[in-house]
Structures are given as structure tokens and as C-alpha cells.
Amino acid sequence: MLPTSLPTSLLPDALLPASLRATRVSIPDALWGDTLQRLPFLDYLNDDDLRRLKALCEELLQKKPLAGVGEFEVDDATAVLIAAQACVLVLNLDLSLYDDMSAILVYPEAFSVRQQHLDEAGVLHEWDEELAGEAVDQGGAVVLSWQDLMQPTEPGMPYNLVIHEFAHKIDMGRGSANGFPPFIEGLHQRAELAHWPEAFSAAYDDFCERVDLLENSLPPDFDPERDDHAELYDALAAELPLDPYAASDPAEFFAVASEAFFVAPAPLCEDYPQIYRLLAAWYRQDPLAAANSAR
């Protein structure tokens, strides 16, 4: 519960444009404390970082509409939980990286999206896909499933739905997502990021080979619906520094690598040190060094 002297919701008029919103968003300290407890991977941030992160969250929630889809209502705890994970990506960059995002929308659970693909023979294939999250390019929203974003990830596992979708949104800064986020004059050093294309292509190719090897080692009658098979797959996937989904395409590789960079950076840094260093240069953060020096 929030203190009675404060508005009962941080987002009383969430769907209004920022200029029409009367109340300035101010996250109560108790709610901020609860949020940090639910995101233990943010332990690497120092007090000054956390103050700046809170201010960025307030600015994001002030500027961007955040709402449930249909009847679903987003409470303050969920809003701040999403904002903290979205803002850690731009903590040492600029919130303007999300200027292109129209809104943050939350479904109560995984949602179905119509997908289309035109194959080489010119045949249009259409199907419904269940998604836990989606980032829509060209001024679109970030869409998240509440059930999935509330699911705590096991410590050390490199998964984070919110970071994944907001990394896509950043990647879309130059058009559609392609795994090459925009270079920001004045914040980024060209020399530090010069090897991005070769390094990311090489790491992506290597990771795809590792996922192929994993898939080839599965039993011929592999069925992901079978519990013992699913357990075997998870055990093999846990040997990888990234979720095998990173092998889907270069844009997914960047989004999944960003998840690992913030949430479980050690295996990523061990297996792909150049990718870790490039992400550290791009995000202008070094979670691994910060966590080690805090110990």
C-alpha cells in the first residue's frame, strides 16, 4: 500500500499524452526498495547509480503511456518493475533512445500474434504465434505478458523478458532491428565499437554451431512436450552462455546477449569476451567489474 498522502496510483491517467498529465510521477521510497529486492541482478549498481536509475524511471513513467490491454489493470509495483529494467539499459546513455516507443502495453498472459511469411515460391504462410513479449518498430509499442514478466528467473540464468524487448526497441533506432544498435555521437567512442560487425557475426556463427550440436545430440524421437525430454534440453541449454533462442537471427542474438550482459554476465564474458567488452562499451556499463569491486 502507498502512504495515503500520495496518489493511490502512479499512473492515474496513463493513456493521456505526457503534456496533459497533471501529476508528476514520484516513486515512493518503499516501493522503490521493494522493486530493487525483486531485481537482485541490479546489486552491481552503487548508490549514485540507483538514484539516477530511480529518476530515469520517474521520467519514463511520466513521458510514456503504460497500460494494461483490455480489462487488465497495471498496478504501481508492475509499472516500476518494468521501468527499472527498461531504464537500466539506458542508465549511462539517454532516455531519448525510447523516443520512438509509443507506449508500454501489458497483457495479463502470453498473447497471440498473427505472423506472415512470404516464401521463395511466393506462397504466403500465415500462423498465430504465442508471445511473452514483442517490440514493434517504427513508433510502435513494447508489449509484455504480465505473467511472464512476474516470473522470477532462477539466479544465474540469463533470461530477462523486459531487457530483451527494450534491447530490441533500442536496436530499432536505425529502422528495423538487425543487431546493430545506433552509434550515439558524444556518448560512444568509435574506436571502441569499430569491430562490432565482425565480432558479432563471428560470435553469432559460433553460437549457431553450438546450438546445432546441442540439437544433434537430442534423441531422434525428441518431443519437447515430454517432461524427461524437456529436462534433457534444459540441462544441455544450461551449458550455453545464452538462451539458444539467440541463434534465431542477429537481432535476437543482440537482444539475448543484452539479457545475459545484465543478468548473468560471467558465462557470456568467459565464452565471448569480445562481445562482453563491446556491450560494455555500448551500454557504457561493466556489470561484472562493478559486481567484483563491490565484493
- Please report how close the Cβ of residue 168 comes to Zn ion at its closest, in angstroms: 5
**Smaller CB distance to Zn ion: residue 255 or 260?**
255
What would the x/- binding string for Zn ion be over residues 230 to 259, using CB under 5 A? ----------------------x--x----
Compute the distance between CA of residue 203 and CA of residue 277 in angstroms, rounded to an integer.
13
Q: Where are the alpha helices (DSSP H) in the chain?
A: 29-38, 47-63, 76-88, 146-150, 161-171, 190-193, 196-216, 227-237, 250-263, 265-271, 273-283, 287-294
Q: Which residues pair with 66 in a beta bridge?
A: 104
Binding of residue 10 to Zn ion (CB under 5 A)? no
**Smaller CB distance to Zn ion: residue 76 or 252?**
252
Q: Indicate the angle between helix axes 250-263 and 273-283, nearest 10 degrees.
A: 80
**230: Cα separation from own chain's centroid:** 24
Residue with cell 554476465: 265
Q: Indicate the angle between helix axes 250-263 and 196-216, nearest 10 degrees.
A: 90
- Please report how close the Cβ of residue 204 comes to Zn ion at its closest, in angstroms: 14
Binding of residue 45 to Zn ion (CB under 5 A)? no
Binding of residue 142 to Zn ion (CB under 5 A)? no
- Please report how close the Cβ of residue 150 comes to Zn ion at its closest, in angstroms: 19
Residues that bind Zn ion (rule: CB under 5 A) add up to a total of: 2
Q: With the CA atoms of 28, 34, 37 and 42 taken in that order, what torsion angle do they form, in degrees rounded to the nearest 10?
A: -30
**Smaller CB distance to Zn ion: residue 171 or 286?**
171
**Smaller CB distance to Zn ion: residue 57 or 161?**
161
- Please report how close the Cβ of residue 113 comes to Zn ion at its closest, in angstroms: 12
- Site residues (vs Zn ion, CB under 5 A): 252, 255
